[in-house]
Chains A and B, each alone.
Chain A
Amino acid sequence: MIEEQPNLPVTADQLVAEVQKLCTDGWRLVQIGVTTLGTTFEVNYSFDRAQIFRNLRVTLPVANARLPSVSGVYFCAFLYENEIHDLFGIAFDGLVLDFKGHLYQTASPFPFAQAPAPAAPAAKPAPAAPAAATQKPSA
């Protein structure tokens, strides 16, 4: 089964109005996620209503990333937006419950903001620490 997953591009200014429309229509917020692609962030807002899926996508540059918060419309968004702020460094205006960077205790600030490293060549097994430790790969 491959369900339809419509992806609608949206700008940061239209975001809150679009989300408000979905809320009044009875859609529930499923997740807010960010992908780092080099110098841009892609922010995905996913919604679901009666098992039908819809996605809004905002693209913004990494430097000075700011977005309006949707926690006024969906209260549960505060958790996603705080996590995104702590991991990626995107600032949100108008957060209903702001943890000011203390939700996620990480060793280095904004660890996910660096782009994924290029695929490593087949590594020789080295007696180094396993990759699953909390060391973030450098960009």
Chain B
Amino acid sequence: MANRTIIPFGPQHPVLPEPIHLDLVVEDEKVIEAIPSIGFIHRGLERLVEKKDFQEFVFVAERICGICSFIHGQTYCQGVETIMKIDVPARARYLRTIWGELSRIHSHLLWLGLMADSFGFESLFMHAWRVRERVLDVIEATTGGRVIFGTCKVGGVRRDIDAAAMTRLLEQVKEVERETREIVNVFTNDGTVKHRLCGVGRLSHEEAYALGCVGPTLRACGWALDSRTLGYAAFNELEFKPIARTEGDCYARTVLRCDEIFQSADLIRQAAAKLPAGEIATKVTGNPDGEFFARVEQPRGEVIYYIKGNGTKNLQRFRVRTPTFANIPALVKTLQGCDLADVPILVLTIDPCISCTER
């Protein structure tokens, strides 16, 4: 029997955006199995509801993660608003959609850069992040912050985008689209990139569903399932169809996320065209009493928030199940039998956001 070595991967690794530890049992450059270990960034945020009242807690919910920050805040607000039966004005719902899709574009561009870095293509990584800078500037101009938006609150949004700002936003989105097409051309057609991505980490159609995958990881295996079809925020009034691919390997997931950037830009234009006039927030009175599971599509997949209130101003229970948590079993499965050099690519292909996973 050949010699087995255990190589520790993480918690610090150039390719990981956040710390996760994997013990790789390796036999001559082939990984036999991978044992994950988490907890490096556990902050106990679920217990913080006991100290902060439900309106203040939006600031904490936004800071669960830096990359998917806006959508965390939005899901929290949606959950509390459903329990308290608050009617959010239409303009606020559209603004949330626009910021949510900007957040998705920024997250996918960040991921494209990290993916290029994981197989050593550093100049492509820098170009992807250069385009992302333009998105961050747009976000800063409309919300005041580059990464943590701070615009969602229970009952609506805190800031408005007037007509002039909206025109500038749409121009910038057009520029971002044009620049992204240059980069996406490299990801989709370059021979060296395809050599590293095609056929790596293949998940079959049934396996992906049985393992409980969500988001692009699931959609790249042939399932057109996307939580945006639930119709929250303004999605029931916009034309939207989930994109799916059938190959199920790393290349399919990469191209899917590239396509989603263009789909998000299109959704922003649709929402901006239909943006209704009106109030941006409703007044909130009383305390939440009841429970609800709020489901929203983050850039990484479906996030589910379980919120339970008992009539006091502090919530009784707040539980987050983030998409990366649901994709970790798929990671463990694809790592079995892969090459050691492919491990960074496989870890990144599920788009790990460990600070979300461990709150």
Complex contacts, B227 vs chain A, CB 8 Å: 51
Instruction: Give every chain B residue within 8 A of A44 (Cβ-Cβ).
Output: 306
Known: A1-B232, A35-B308, A137-B50. A74 touches B293 (CB 8 A): no
Q: Tell me the residues in window 32-87 of chain B with beta carbons closer than 8 Å to chain A beta carbons.
A: 36-40, 42-52, 60, 82
Q: Are the CB atoms of A28 and B51 closer together than 8 Å?
A: no
- The answer, among B46, B211, B313, for a CB contact under 8 Å with A75, is B211
CB contact under 8 A between A119 and B328, given known A53-B293, A111-B44:
no
CA distance A99 to B229 in the complex (A): 37
> B171-198: which residues lie under 8 A (CB-CB) from chain A?
none
A56–chain B nearest beta-carbon distance, Å: 13
Bound state CA distance, A40 and B292, in angstroms? 20
**Pairwise interchain contact B51-A103, C-beta atoms closer than 8 A:** no
Asked if A28 and B212 sit within 8 Å, CB to CB, the answer is: yes
Q: Is the CB of A53 within 8 A of B43?
A: no
Contacts A104-B39, A117-B50, A132-B43 hold; do A46 and B304 have CB atoms under 8 A apart? yes
In the complex, A120 Cα to B49 Cα: how many Å?
11
- Could you tell me the dominant secondary structure of chain B's interface residues? mixed
Nearest A-chain residue to B229, judged by Cβ: A51
Is residue A39 contacting chain B, with contact meaning CB distance below 8 A? no
Describe A's contact surface by its main secondary structure: loop
B42 touches A134 (CB 8 A): yes
* A76, B212: Cβ atoms closer than 8 Å: yes
Q: Which of A95-139 contact B (CB under 8 A)?
A: 99, 102-106, 111-112, 116-117, 119-120, 131-134, 136-137
Asked if residues A53 and B295 are in contact (CB atoms below 8 Å), the reply is yes
A24 CB to nearest chain B CB (Å): 12
CA distance A53 to B232 in the complex (A): 15
**A28-B212, A33-B319, A112-B46 known; A79 and B325 CB under 8 Å?**
yes
Those 6 A-B pairs whose CB atoms lie nearest each other, nearest first: A76-B212, A31-B321, A105-B39, A76-B329, A35-B317, A104-B39
5 contacts across the A-B interface (CB closer than 8 A): A30-B321, A31-B306, A75-B329, A105-B42, A134-B44
Chain A residues packing against B (C-beta within 8 Å):
1-3, 5, 28-31, 33, 35-37, 44, 46, 50-51, 53, 55, 74-76, 78-79, 99, 102-106, 111-112, 116-117, 119-120, 131-134, 136-137
